[in-house]
């Protein structure tokens, strides 16, 4: 029932986005001068001509900016409830009892939810021009966490793949090697390892108080 609801919701959202894209393309094609409301001075650097990414995108590629602005809504609408449902399913006692693979899938769905949350924040501040006033150290923390969760996702997939390979190719060893407790320790180790690898970003990045 839930999957059917998500399927219908995704189809409806995609249809609305495509209609908006077609209407926007017709409007832009009929009034090309409206897409260049900003006066570009070639003598100035880009950051003096455009004060935000959305201004820059609207000037050079308005259709792409429009697509990026509204299509990501579809991804967030499907992604957040989808990951939440996946986490609830794989973390239930009936599912992970004696099944260490469920631990990796639950960790992956939780990690991908964090990835979507960071992507939503960046879309709001960059594409939708929602004001963001960074504090000291906020950019360093954000970039470090962003890379950590991005690198952790394929590591969880790798751990799940190895666990399934052992279950199929080494069925007599899997009971001794794979366990719920060990899977939890591996997931924690993956997060700590990726955090350690990405920690230099905290040194390389700096926060601009002006945004």
Q: What is the pLDDT of residues 137-192, one digit of tens each?
A: 888 899 999 999 999 999 999 999 999 998 888 888 877 888 899 999 999 999 99
pLDDT above 70 covers a percentage of the chain that reads 77
Residues 33 and 134 grouped into a single domain: no
Range of the domain at 6: 1-90
Q: Judge contact between 163 and 100, C-beta under 8 A.
A: yes
Same domain, 110 and 159: yes
What are 102-125's pLDDT values in tens digits?
999 999 999 999 999 999 998 888
Looking at the fold, whether 97 and 79 belong to one and the same domain comes out as: no
Together in a domain, 209 and 181: yes
Compute the distance between CA of residue 195 and CA of residue 78 in angstroms, rounded to an integer: 28
If asked whether residues 204 and 112 sit together in one domain, one would say: yes
Q: Are residues 84 and 97 in the same domain?
A: no
Pair of tokens at residue 59: 């000037």
**DSSP single-letter state for residue 127:** I
The two three-digit tokens of residue 153, written as one number: 């996702």
- State the chain's mean pLDDT as an integer: 80
Are both 123 and 42 inside the same structural domain?
Answer: no
What pLDDT digit, counting tens, does each position of 65-76 carry?
Answer: 888 888 888 889
The predicted pLDDT at position 12 comes to: 62
Same domain, 96 and 86: no
What's the total number of domains in the chain? 2
With 0.85 as the threshold, say if the pTM is over it: no
Same domain, yes or no, for 20 and 51?
Answer: yes
- 34 DSSP 8-state letter: G
Q: Which long-range contacts (CB under 8 A, 24 or more apart) does 61-64 make?
A: 62/24, 62/28, 62/35, 63/21, 63/24, 63/25, 63/28
């Amino acid at each position: 029932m839930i999957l059917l609801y998500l399927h219908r919701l995704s189809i409806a959202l995609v249809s609305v986005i495509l209609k908006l894209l077609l209407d926007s393309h017709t409007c832009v094609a009929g009034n090309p001068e409206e897409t260049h409301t900003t006066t570009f001075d070639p003598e100035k650097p880009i950051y003096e001509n455009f004060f935000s990414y959305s201004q820059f995108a609207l000037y050079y590629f308005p259709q792409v900016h429009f697509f990026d602005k509204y299509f990501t809504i579809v991804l967030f609408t499907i992604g957040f409830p989808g990951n939440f449902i996946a986490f609830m399913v794989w973390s239930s006692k009936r599912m992970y009892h004696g099944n260490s693979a469920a631990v990796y899938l639950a960790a992956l769905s939780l990690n991908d939810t964090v990835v979507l949350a960071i992507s939503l924040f960046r879309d709001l501040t960059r594409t939708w021009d929602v004001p963001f006033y960074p504090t000291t150290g906020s950019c360093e923390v954000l970039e470090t966490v962003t890379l950590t969760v991005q690198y952790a996702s394929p590591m969880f997939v790798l751990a799940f793949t190895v666990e399934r390979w052992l279950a199929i190719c080494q069925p007599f060893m899997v009971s001794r090697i794979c366990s719920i407790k060990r899977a939890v320790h591996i997931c924690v180790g993956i997060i700590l390892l990726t955090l350690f690898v990405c920690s230099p970003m905290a040194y390389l990045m700096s926060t601009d108080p002006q945004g």
